[in-house]
Amino acid sequence: MRWARYDDAGTPAYAVVEGDDLIPVRGSPFATWERTASKLPLAQIKLLPPVIPPTFYACGMNYAGHVREVAAKIGQAPNLPTQPDIGYRANNALIGHGEPIVIPADATDKVQYEGELVVVIGRKCKHLTRHDALSAVLGYTIGNDVSERTWQRSDRTLWRAKNTDTFKPMGPWIETDVRLDDLVTKVRLNGKQLIEFRTNDMVFGVVDFLVAMTKYLTLHPGDMVWMGTEGATADMKHGDTCEIEITGIGTLRNPVVREAK
């Protein structure tokens, strides 16, 4: 089942995706809901980020190849995580499928994509076990953890390197029927595939993180966890289109523009 969030004449609303159509619902997947009798053509609808989370979690370094790659880029020694220490991103940066990634005029050319699996929490939970952790997951979507590498190196936090407005594209929708081991992530820039990896080849997996996090943290419906990315990443420039496909979920596509100076 696929849950989309869309712009219903200025008000965010949820709908079920069926083929090329959206079936609007009353309510939301995080509470109670019922289908309406409406049907909207997906192609004509503006999709929104499929959820605005109470807390926006992100794993950061969670694939071995990417840890080595980023370490080289920011001039530090690679440092593979030894425990699942979760990090954070910020809601101001979220945009939906199709919306432009806007590179600020004073950013360098080192603005790069990172294709990530996004775990969306469906219910309030704490003290999850390895046995029941996945039962707290509503479904999965796709995130692009856009990163300005010079700010990532120079600043004390990731505030503008990763949380500049529009730097967190997410979507197109939440897929509830997913087998993690089947997923493959592919990143394409202007149609050319630049990277492909088994989505579930993480240093710490979804269950590892959910169990560790909920030892101390209550998760709430709509909270989400971005699971990190693998491999090398490349610069995106004005006029580019970045696509992140995760097989079985969908494709998140965003154009790139650079602000005029």
With a CB cutoff of 8 Å and minimum separation 6, the contacts of 207 are: 130, 133, 134
User: What distance in Å separates the CA atoms of residue 166 and residue 105, rounded to the nearest whole number?
Assistant: 14
Q: Does 150 participate in binding a copy of itself (rule CB under 8 A)?
A: no
Nearest to 18 by CA among 38, 2, 35: 2
Three-state DSSP class for residue 244: strand
DSSP-derived pairing of the beta strands 168-175 and 94-95: parallel
Q: Using CB under 8 A, which of the segments 16-24, 33-41, 49-57, 188-196 binds a copy of itself?
A: 49-57
Q: Does 108 participate in binding a copy of itself (rule CB under 8 A)?
A: no
Beta strands in 101-239 (DSSP E): 101-103, 111-112, 115-121, 137-144, 147-148, 168-175, 184-189, 192-198, 224-226
Q: Does 78 participate in binding a copy of itself (rule CB under 8 A)?
A: no
Residue from 45, 71, 78, 88 in contact with a copy of itself (CB under 8 A): 88
Q: Using CB under 8 A, which of the segments 8-16, 51-59, 193-201, 245-253 binds a copy of itself?
A: 51-59
CA 34 to chain centre: 27
Contact 17, 2 (CB under 8 A): yes
Q: Does 26 participate in binding a copy of itself (rule CB under 8 A)?
A: no
Q: Using CB under 8 A, which of the segments 4-12, 88-96, 168-176, 192-200 binds a copy of itself?
A: 88-96
Contact 146, 111 (CB under 8 A): yes
Q: Does 87 participate in binding a copy of itself (rule CB under 8 A)?
A: yes
Q: Does 259 participate in binding a copy of itself (rule CB under 8 A)?
A: no
Min separation Cβ 159 and a copy of itself, Å? 5
Q: Does 93 participate in binding a copy of itself (rule CB under 8 A)?
A: yes
Q: Does 152 participate in binding a copy of itself (rule CB under 8 A)?
A: no
In SS3 terms, 161-190 reads as HHHCCCCEEEEEEEECCCCHHHCEEEEEEC
Residue from 54, 65, 78, 255 in contact with a copy of itself (CB under 8 A): 54
Q: Does 208 participate in binding a copy of itself (rule CB under 8 A)?
A: no
What is the token pair recorded at 172?
């197109």
Q: Does 217 participate in binding a copy of itself (rule CB under 8 A)?
A: yes
Q: Which alpha helices (H) appear in 31-81, and where do they start and end?
A: 64-73
Residue from 8, 21, 69, 165 in contact with a copy of itself (CB under 8 A): 165
Nearer to a copy of itself, 89 or 188 (CB): 89
Nearer to a copy of itself, 38 or 159 (CB): 159
Question: Residues interacting with a copy of itself, by CB under 8 A?
Answer: 52, 54-56, 60-61, 81, 83, 85-88, 90-93, 104, 126, 155-157, 159-160, 163-165, 213, 215-220, 223
